[in-house]
Every structure is written in structure tokens, then in C-alpha cells.
Amino acid sequence: MPAKLDAWLELTVEEAIDPSLPICDPHHHLWDKPQDRYMIDEVTSDLGSGHNVVQTLFVEVDAMYRASGPTEMKPVGEVEWVNGIGAQSDSGAYGPTRVAAGIIGYADLNLGAVVKPVLEAIETASGGRFRSVRHTCSWDEFEPLRSHRSGYPGMMASAKFKEGFGVLTGMGYGFDALVYHPQILELAELADAFPNATFILNHIGRPLGIGPYAGHRDEVFEVWKKDITTLAERPNIVVKVGGLGNRVSGFDWDTRPFPPSSTELAKTTGPYYLHAIETFGPERCMFESNFPVDKNSYSYAVIWNSFKRMTRDFSDAEKALLFHDTAAKSYKLPLLSEL
């Protein structure tokens, strides 16, 4: 990561709270961009900030695609690459955490039934780490919120997407859902159409705070709160609790002279995160870092401290679920009792 960012993050330093609590971080990325590297050395540096992170899951980020071959097969290259990083981690040379114990890859579900060979190639390339696909469904009228691979209006209801989705879930894999908060009810309809599939909602449904949503935080919160409560009625959906450090959330922590403390984060994000936990229950919620995307807003030590502060009065069993076992169960990784 850029040295300037590291220097800024060092302006707010905290010791890890409850450092022995086992954590499975179910959402981080890896990449190697010009002037922006987040590889095995960088991720293990963050993982070594004092918290007891025992295993992690890598989430697709459009990195290290194959340079040639059929377009639909190019994302297999990312999985091949991350499997290699997972093997590096398994050697023990980079610390005790099993980095990329599971992999959430990308395949274009709009291919319909012909996505199966892509999924089979990912399965082989992952060395047994493949757990889920994330096909970005987020879309908004505000053009800056769209990436080159954003969804399109009504995509989750389209016949081709649902055909590809059926192939994915028929093979026994989960689906990581990345949507914006106005699309939460569309996701609910997809979950109803596939009641036996496992859906993992990323970043609590991404309540937006930029563009036309800026200055309307209270209004957005009420819409999000209502829709997330409705979504929780679907028993086949679990939620990644985190992600509000992303710039699209509009909290602007990255523009301040120094980063927020875990106390401030717990106070600011608590209404969102605790509502998700209240509606879905700890057995369907997992805390996530979303690093290094959210690293623009706070450090790894601070974000996990904020989660621990807001759950201070939770039982040990509830904490075990939120910090480790819900993620491990959802992604078929070893539970605490099996470690």
C-alpha cells in the first residue's frame, strides 16, 4: 500500500482488544497494481496487528486474469494466482494465519448454462479452495457508482443470469451478493427463487452516501433498515457485517487529518451493524474487514477493535459465531471446535 496511507494510519494506533478471540476474516482482497501492492507480505502485516486471525477468505477483485484465451476463462487466472498465495501461507513462513483458506472467485453468470466449464476450471485451479462466486450485481442511475463490471437494471431477475446461477448452486457453491441498498428487495426475490442456495450478502447491502445519496443519511438508513429487515426473513441468506469504510458509504474518514478510533467507529457504524445482527442473528452474521479497500479509512487493528467494542455485552457463544464460526460454516471451513 502507498507509504502515505501507512503514515496516516499510524496516527491512530491501538492495542488489540481481547487478542485471543479467534477470527475468520471472510472478506479481503489481494492485488499488485502500480504504486499499490497488497500481496502476501502486506496482508500478513495487517493480520499480525494483534488480533487472532486464524483463517481468511479471498474475494475476487479482477486481478491477475489470464492475458489470453477465451474471455469467459480469463478470471480463472485470478484463482490460480490466489491458490499460489494460499500455498505460500500454508507453508507457515508468513505467520500462523491461513491466508486464502477459501476463495470467492468470479464467473459471468450471464453466460447461462455454458458457465459450467468456467466453474469447473475454477474448481480445478483453486486446489480445493473454491467456495463461492461473486458476480457484482450493484447498479445505480448515478454513473460514478458503476464499475466496468457492474450489473444492469433487472439483472438478478433475467433468465440468463438465473440459468447461470442455477448451474453454480447446483454444483454446491455459494453466491456472494454485492448490491447497493436500493437493490436489496431484488436480491430477496432471487433468494426466493433459489431457496436451497446459500447467499452471502456483502457489506450489509452497501447503504450509499455519495452522489444523489449525499446529505440524506437518515433517509437512506431508514430505507436500508426496512429492507434489510425484510431480507432477513429469507433463511438462506447470511450477512457480512462490515464494509462501511468504502468511499461509496460517504463517511469521508479518509479525508480527515487522522483516522477514526475504534470507539468512534463503533458509535458511528453500530446502528447499522447491530441492526443487521439483531435481524439476522449471530448465527447468520460474520464480521469482515474488506481490506485493503477499507484500509483507506482505518487500520486493521482499529476495525476489529470496533467490532469487539460493539459486542462487548454479547455472550461467548455469540462472539464465537460473529467472529469465526458463521463465516467458517458458510464457506465450509473448519469450525473452532475442529481447529
Q: What is the pLDDT of residues 208-239, one digit of tens each?
A: 999 999 999 999 999 999 999 999 999 999 99
pLDDT-derived band of residue 261, with 50, 70 and 90 as boundaries? very high
19: pLDDT strictly greater than 70: yes
Mean pLDDT of all residues in the chain?
Answer: 97
pLDDT computed for residue 1 by the predictor = 63
Please name which of 229, 224, 250, 59 lies closest in space to residue 142, comparing C-alpha atoms. 250
**Residue 151 near residue 137, CB atoms below 8 Å:** yes
The CA distance from 90 to 95, in Å, is: 9
**Higher local confidence (pLDDT), 35 or 185:** 185
Q: Which domains are seen in the chain, by residue range?
A: 3-338 (3.20.20.140)
HSE of 42, CA atoms in CB hemisphere, 13 A = 18
96: pLDDT strictly greater than 70: yes
Please name which of 224, 222, 154 lies closest in space to residue 190, comparing C-alpha atoms. 154
Chain segment 303-312, per-residue pLDDT in tens = 999 999 999 9
pLDDT-derived band of residue 3, with 50, 70 and 90 as boundaries? confident
**Residue 137 near residue 189, CB atoms below 8 Å:** no
CA distances from 232 to 143, 172, 264 (A): 29, 22, 27
149: pLDDT strictly greater than 80: no
Q: Does the pTM exceed 0.75?
A: yes
What is the mean predicted confidence (pLDDT) over 291-317? 98
**Residue 298 near residue 206, CB atoms below 8 Å:** no
Three-state DSSP at 100 gives strand
pLDDT-derived band of residue 339, with 50, 70 and 90 as boundaries? confident
Contacts of residue 215, Cβ cutoff 8 Å, sequence gap at least 6:
none
pLDDT computed for residue 150 by the predictor = 72
**What percent of the chain has pLDDT above 70?**
99
* Amino acid of residue 271: P
Q: Helix, strand, coil shares of the chain as percentages rounded to 5?
A: 50, 15, 35
Cis peptide before 271 (omega within 30 of 0): no
Lowest mean pLDDT among 77-86, 142-151, 172-181: 142-151
